[in-house]
Structure 1
Amino acid sequence: MTSTTPGGRTAVHPSPGSGEDAPPLVELRAAGKSYGNVRALHGVDLAVHPSRVTCVLGDNGAGKSTLIKIISGLHQHTEGEFLVDGEPVRFSSPRDALARGIATVYQDLATVPLMPVWRNFFLGSEMTKGPWPVRRLDIARMKRTADEELRNMGIVLDDLEQPIGTLSGGQRQCVAIARAVYFGARVLILDEPTAALGVKQSGVVLKYIAAARERGLGVIFITHNPHHAYLVGDHFSVLRLGTLELSAPRDRITLEELTNHMAGGAELAALKHELAQVGGVDVAALPEAGEVSAPAGDGAPESAAPAASAASTNAEGKP
């Protein structure tokens, strides 16, 4: 079942028994964020359920970073609601979000390249032993725990003493994911984890995203790549210019439709006539202007709503 919201965006509602029966761990309702006169995010609805991967896609400037900052507690929303376990919240810092089980793995991974793997695993939360005030690091216990937790995620490292900077990009991502799971994350936000990785290493990271889902976590997977998202995603949200253009469960949208939304199909359709005048440009495969929903939001043309309705029909698989 689909509908068009007052903002003109496409909303594809999950069918009963689609796996979203459990109450959401984290939910945004018409959430937005303004920086002075700049409206970075507006009217975004997002629900993160346990044992599901919610993929958030969008181009540069679409509002993905602002969305991450709101959920992780770095910034506060200025409109709408932000709920954790059904309770409205307003975090004052990332530490508040961590206390509620929301962990974020950023692109820089917050690791120290020259430190050993086990030390990075416990960075900032080291285990200690002995009486106060002469407590000392419990190195043996930290090594043992790090090895056990990494193996539980399917990550086997021969030497935990090696500097984490010597690991591949995919391995470092996986260590960061395992660390977040160990320290009690119920909601795991992954900020472009495959952006700088090759095909093989991206596959490794996607495998551990699926492993986190199997352990019951709600995962928010931020990415530019619709192919990576479609491999592991259960629900897809596409942001464009700070608004939610598309929200659809996996069984209601194809990879081709998701790629078209992500690639800006509406803009390409509007430019089809102009592109046809340029030599060497094949426009035969481009959609017509009415076949793809236009970006919705304040200032969107009145024709955006009918276009979104057409995209809703396409996502449902009807003519």
Structure 2
Amino acid sequence: MTPRVVLDPDIPEKARAVLAANTPLLPPPSAPPPRPRFGGRGPGTVALAACQAPIWVYLPVLACWQYGKRAKIAGTVAEALIIAPIAIWGFYGLAFNMLWGLPLQVIAFITVLVRSGEPELPKLIRRHKGGYVRPEELNGPAPALLDRAQAAVDGVTRSEVNREGLLDEVRNTVTLPRQLWDIAETLAELSHLHAEQEQKTMGLTTPRVVEALRPRRKALNLATESVVKRVEALERYAARTRAADQALLELRALQNLAEGGDAYRDLLARTVRDDLAIAEIDDLTERARRIEEALHDSVEQARRAGLSLVPQAS
């Protein structure tokens, strides 16, 4: 797998959805797009607003047709009100429409101009420039660690026991994205410091340079070990979740077999003693009971593994 862009869970949901849908276009957080003059409104935008203003005033049915049903109905009604004076008074009705339409064109021009300009994506990138981590920014072991963390989180959230609500679904929804973001932020900072070290030392490995780097490298190693422990905790949670999924599948399989027990009971009763048939079915029921107990135990262990992540998220 290739690690994906990680977004800050504190970003509003609507903005996060736009950024997530355009991850290939996200620049490095240190180099967001510059704010354009006049909100990105140049001569072309002014010309477009000037062309659209008469359409909104005199052909509202055409302007509204690209929107929803209610907008189409409103545009049709407005068009009827514009055509009515012309149909009734002819040339005078046309002159009347042109007269009262002039101030409306000015209003339409200003409205279209205000609502035009810079697209939404560059605005969101500037607003949340520190709110995402791109895999391209990472170096050393960081991409692999991020990939492992994302795979573990995906394993938990996509598991059957989580979809069935057997785990703490609300806590998973809140805690796991926060854990992933904290890990990604730390990995990005570690990668930045590693790159900064290489740049400052200019690739030299002389004894003096190595000695000067020793405290910094020790700090980086300790931070990396801490991230590795957090990733391993996520992987333990995912492993417990997989075990619970397996137990759930076994339980369902045995329940499906038990549902057909009456037919087997009748079949066995015809050929052997009734107590043998009952023993066979009871044995199947007992197996289902043991698997159900194992499922409860697996789910409880997965819950505990998930709870162990919570203190680290604060």
What TM-score, normalized by structure 2, do the two folds share?
A: 0.28
Higher RCO (C-alpha under 8 Å, 6+ residues apart): 1
The structure with the largest strand share of the pair is 1
Q: TM-score, normalised by structure 1?
A: 0.28
Larger radius of gyration: 2
